[in-house]
Amino acid sequence: MFLRIVFFLVFQLAGGALGWWRGGPWGAALGAALAAWAWFVGDLLRSARVLRWLRTGDLAHAPAVRGVWGEAADRARRLLRKQAALVQGSEDRLQDILAALQATPNGVVLLDAQSRIEWCNQVAASHFGFDAGRDMLQSIGNLVRDPDFTAYLAAQDARHGVVLEGRQSTPSRPVRISVHLHPYGDGRTLLLSRDVTALEQAEAMRRDFVANVSHEIRTPLTVLTGFVETLQTLPLDADERGRYLGLMSQQAQRMQSVVQDLLTLSRLEGSPPPGMAEWTPVQSLLQRCAEEARALSALVHPQRPQALHFPEADDLCGDIAGAPAELQSALSNLISNAVRYTPAGGSITVEWQREEDGRAVFSVRDTGPGVAPEHIPRLTERFYRVDRSRSRETGGTGLGLAIVKHVLQRHGATLDIASTLGKGSVFSVTFPANRLR
């Protein structure tokens, strides 16, 4: 401010001196007055440029002026740059937060005080069928028309959630969405959604598994209990006692088979996949399978044995990598099923074929009763039976194909099932080329 006064006085003195030189005392007064007005007009123009620039705030077009107004413009420019940097930093942090919310596997919806959508990520849009552009500032109650959600939204009870049917849910592939509301800020609400379809399916499978295990063990236990009470209360001769003890032994073996298969499944699910270090000749695997199949066929159909066809030894060259015991169990299980379900005098054909791409296909073809198409996708489920009475007659536990599926998955192989009612079935296993040599 001091320099501003000095410059003003110097400007006036210069004007007065010039006026004195040109017109004496009156000229000096006029020169000083004109100099003051000229300085004032120039200062006014500089201030107008600075004020006009401040109204726009465009840092790229800051005025280049000197003096006090120039210093004021420089200070304002520095403050604006600092403020712009802060705004840009806040914007970057906001975008980082939104990107993190976009990347979360859960759905996120931000609602205002009137329950209108302010923002949602793609997961939430998929869960509820939102359009991120069209549905902004729309009331979520108008978009999600589920009565349970409407009641939950009205209650605003953050302690509990609600499970809804997903927008993409179909009768064949149900989708279940868990929704939770969390109030925050000034009346706003954070809505979190999560796909719990797999969890509900796992819970249903757990309940079915417990029920099936209980049923499979309770039935033989009931029989055993009845025989024990009979032996304890009735006087029986040696033949009757021996027959009852034989039936009790059968039921005990049945329970033991169920427990053993459950332990096998648990071991397969809990252990790492077999490596590539141990190689087993294919010929030895199928030779043991053939021996077991012939023995089982003679036991099941002693009067009229089945026709069993196995590949020649010369066609079984090569080795397969994996756990020999697991492979033997899986392949033998497929053949044993064919023997049990194929009637007396039927035919069972086992084949081993190498493909041009290096893979190998093991197949078991039978002339049994076949399986209806609606049952085929569920054959590898635990305890699933097409005909429960027929399965128990053959001595199965309902876990054999589940064990086969797990063994094949651990070896990178796939199981394909083709069947026609009244004509038989074909179970095919395809082994990858990297496990063959």
- What is the residue-wise DSSP string for 155-219? HT-TT--EEEE-TT--SSS--EEEEEEEEETTTEEEEEEEE-HHHHHHHHHHHHHHHHHHHHHHH
**Region(s) of the chain under CATH 1.10.287.130:** 200-270
Answer whether residue 391 shows pLDDT above 50. Answer: no
Task: Return the CATH number of 105-195, one of 3.30.1370.60, 3.30.450.20, 3.30.1490.20, 1.20.210.10.
Answer: 3.30.450.20
CATH 1.10.287.130 fits 200-270, yes or no: yes
Predicted confidence band at 331 (pLDDT cuts at 50, 70, 90)?
very high
Model pTM score: 0.55
Give the pLDDT score at 38. 65
pLDDT tens column, 274-328? 888 889 998 998 999 888 888 888 888 878 878 899 988 777 888 999 888 889 8
Structure tokens at 233: 């209360």
Helix (H, G, I), strand (E, B) or coil at 109: strand
Give the other-Cβ count within 10 Å of 264's Cβ: 17
**φ and ψ of 117, to 5 deg:** -75, 120
pLDDT at 389 over 60: no
Q: What is the pLDDT of residues 347-359, one digit of tens each?
A: 999 999 988 888 9
Q: What is the pLDDT of residues 217-268, one digit of tens each?
A: 777 788 888 878 888 887 878 888 888 788 888 778 778 877 877 787 777 7
Distance CA 401, CA 407 (A): 10
Mapping DSSP to helix (H, G, I), strand (E, B) and coil, where does residue 437 land?
Answer: coil
Query: What is the per-residue pLDDT across 144-180, written as a single tens digit (0 to 9) for each?
Result: 888 888 888 888 777 788 888 877 777 767 888 889 8
CATH 3.90.420.10 fits 279-435, yes or no: no
Tell me how far apart the alpha carbons of residues 257 and 251 are, in angstroms, rounded to a whole number: 10
Mean pLDDT for all residues in the chain: 80
DSSP state of 281: E
CA angle 391-397-399, nearest 5°? 115
- What is the tens place of the pLDDT at every residue in 183-222? 888 888 889 999 888 887 778 777 777 777 777 777 778 8
Q: Cα 248 from chain centroid?
A: 47
Predicted confidence at residue 135, as pLDDT, reads 83
Question: What are 93-99's contacts with CB under 8 Å, separation 24+?
Answer: none
3-state secondary structure at position 49: helix
d(CA 271, CA 150): 47
Provide CATH 3.30.450.20 ranges for the chain.
Answer: 105-195
> Given pLDDT bands bounded at 50, 70 and 90, which one contains residue 366?
very high
Look at 431 and 12; give whichever has higher pLDDT.
Answer: 431
What does the DSSP 8-state code read for residue 338? H
| Chain-centroid distance, C-alpha 51 | 59
> Would you place residue 426 in the very low, low, confident or very high pLDDT band (cuts 50, 70, 90)?
very high
Residues 6+ apart with CB under 8 A from 69: 43, 46, 47, 49, 50
Percent of the chain at pLDDT > 90 equals 8
In the chain, CATH 3.30.565.10 covers 279-435
Of the candidates 200, 248, 260, the residue with the CA atom closest to the CA atom of residue 403: 260
CA–CA distance, 220 with 252 (Å, rounded to integer): 7
